[in-house]
């Protein structure tokens, strides 16, 4: 790896496989189907491994639906907060299931989707999220249908419903309680339908998560209401499987030592900036030397975090940030015209492969 030029994202298939084996267990034991949330992770160079353990993909737009169809090659769910007529005509070429966000969109495009497997998104009015920004049931949320009476009126037009009401939920008791609430409120509707998607945001691959109890809960729910359950894991699929590898370019001092690396939160790990969270440093390990690690963009707040490390950082030091798969490569951008990190994969056999590099031509091509 020392020969690779930083910055680069490094996906480790062996670490990815750990999550996929848990997903396989959930599928086998509970009967639920698991489809990859492409909004979180769309790096199709590892789909060859992932599709052996998953049932397909779910998308939030036409391009993602097409990507899932062409590169994953299994079941495709297509959802959007707002489809245009052209979107619907395009997505009908790729999707096995089309999920609308509102009754008005369902009605507007009923002719276009006639004979297809159609669903509606439901907002149950409760959710689990550490951040208001990501809370699908926040006040004035535009995501899904709140009125149960409306759902009863349109039940003859749909085959399934999607409840996406979690964000990084690793609390099984909370999930279990909320799933019971869904059963109580929507049970009569569910019994008329073929399938229900419980969305993503369930952190069931986290160490010590009660997977056995989770599987039992899903199986009981499916049997009680006679529906095929779908899960849409994103982070659970790829957590702890990738790093952003960077090199220190300079160390400056302003009350404390600040190491500047050849990457950026704004451009390469945007969610840390959006949610004001701290990136996890995998290497160097913890110690006594205190540093702020910052990106090299001109944004004043381009900071990965404040750390105590075992190594005194200097120009040339390599810093590896963990959890660099979810919501990173799908959000990377050309802010400040900085070089885009390459995407590298460590295959199951240990082979290291650079699957994509980016240069000036890519930067120019992204502009007008």
Residue 30 pLDDT > 90, yes or no? yes
Average pLDDT over residues 90-99: 96
Residues 121/161, Cβ–Cβ less than 8 Å = yes
Q: Boundaries of CATH 2.40.37.10 in the chain?
A: 240-365
Q: With 80 as the cut, is the pLDDT of residue 214 above it? A: yes
Distances (CA, A) of 46 to 9, 298, 346, 358: 13, 33, 10, 18
CB burial class (10 A; 0-12, 13-18, 19+) of residue 44? middle
CATH architecture of 240-365: Beta Barrel (2.40)
Mean pLDDT score, 293-308: 97
Q: What is the pLDDT of residue 3?
A: 75
Taking the CA atoms of 181, 183, 184 and 190 in sequence, report the sign of the dihedral they define. Answer: positive
pTM above 0.85, yes or no: yes
pLDDT in tens, 231-266: 999 999 999 999 999 999 999 999 999 999 999 999
**Ranges in the chain annotated CATH 3.20.20.10:** 14-238
What is the percent of the chain where pLDDT is above 70? Answer: 99
Tell the CATH topology of 14-238.
Answer: TIM Barrel (3.20.20)
Q: What is the pLDDT of residues 320-346, one digit of tens each?
A: 999 999 999 999 999 999 999 999 999
Instruction: Count other C-beta atoms under 10 Å from residue 303's C-beta.
Output: 19
CA–CA distance from 50 to each of 95, 173, 178, 185, 209 (Å)?
19, 28, 29, 35, 21
What's the sign of the alpha-carbon dihedral 66, 67, 69, 70?
Answer: positive
Statement: residue 1 has pLDDT above 60: no
Query: Is a pLDDT exceeding 90 seen at residue 113?
Result: yes
Query: pLDDT (tens digit, 9 = 90+) per residue, 46-76?
Result: 999 999 999 999 999 999 999 999 999 999 9
- Cα separation, 106 vs 102, in Å, equals 6
Q: Which pLDDT value is given to residue 353?
A: 95
Instruction: Report d(CA 186, CA 283) in Å as an integer.
Output: 48
């Amino acid at each position: 790896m020392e020969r690779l030029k930083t910055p680069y994202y490094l996906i480790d298939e062996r670490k990815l496989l750990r999550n996929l084996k848990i997903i396989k267990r959930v599928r086998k034991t509970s009967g639920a189907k698991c489809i990859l949330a492409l909004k979180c992770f769309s790096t199709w160079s590892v789909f060859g491994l992932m599709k052996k353990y998953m049932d397909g993909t779910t998308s939030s737009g036409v391009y993602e639906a097409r990507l899932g169809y062409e590169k994953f090659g299994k079941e495709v769910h297509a959802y959007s907060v707002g489809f245009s007529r052209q979107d619907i005509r395009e997505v009908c070429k790729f999707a096995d299931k089309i999920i609308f966000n509102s009754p008005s969109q369902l009605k507007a495009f009923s002719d276009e989707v006639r004979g297809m497997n159609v669903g509606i998104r439901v907002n149950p009015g409760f959710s689990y999220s550490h951040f208001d920004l990501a809370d699908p049931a926040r006040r004035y949320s535009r995501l899904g249908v709140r009125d149960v009476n409306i759902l009863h009126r349109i039940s003859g037009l749909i085959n399934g419903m999607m409840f996406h009401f979690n964000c990084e939920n690793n609390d099984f008791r909370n999930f279990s309680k909320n799933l019971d609430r869904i059963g109580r409120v929507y049970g009569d509707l569910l019994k008329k339908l073929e399938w229900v998607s419980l969305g993503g945001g369930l952190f069931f691959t986290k160490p010590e998560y009660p997977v056995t109890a989770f599987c039992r809960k899903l199986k009981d729910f499916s049997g009680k209401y006679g529906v095929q359950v779908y899960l849409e894991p994103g982070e659970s699929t790829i957590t702890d499987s990738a790093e952003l590898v960077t090199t220190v370019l300079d160390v400056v001092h302003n009350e404390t030592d600040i190491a500047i690396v050849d990457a950026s939160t704004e451009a390469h790990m945007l969610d840390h900036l959006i949610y004001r969270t701290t990136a996890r440093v995998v290497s160097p390990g913890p110690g006594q030397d205190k540093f702020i690690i910052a990106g090299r963009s001109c944004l004043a707040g381009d900071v990965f975090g404040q750390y105590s490390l075992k190594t005194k950082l200097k120009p040339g030091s390599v810093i590896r940030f963990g959890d660099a798969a979810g919501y990173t490569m799908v959000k990377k951008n050309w802010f400040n015209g900085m070089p885009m990190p390459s995407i590298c994969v460590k295959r199951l056999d240990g082979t290291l492969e650079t699957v994509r590099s980016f240069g000036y031509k890519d930067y120019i091509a992204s502009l007008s």
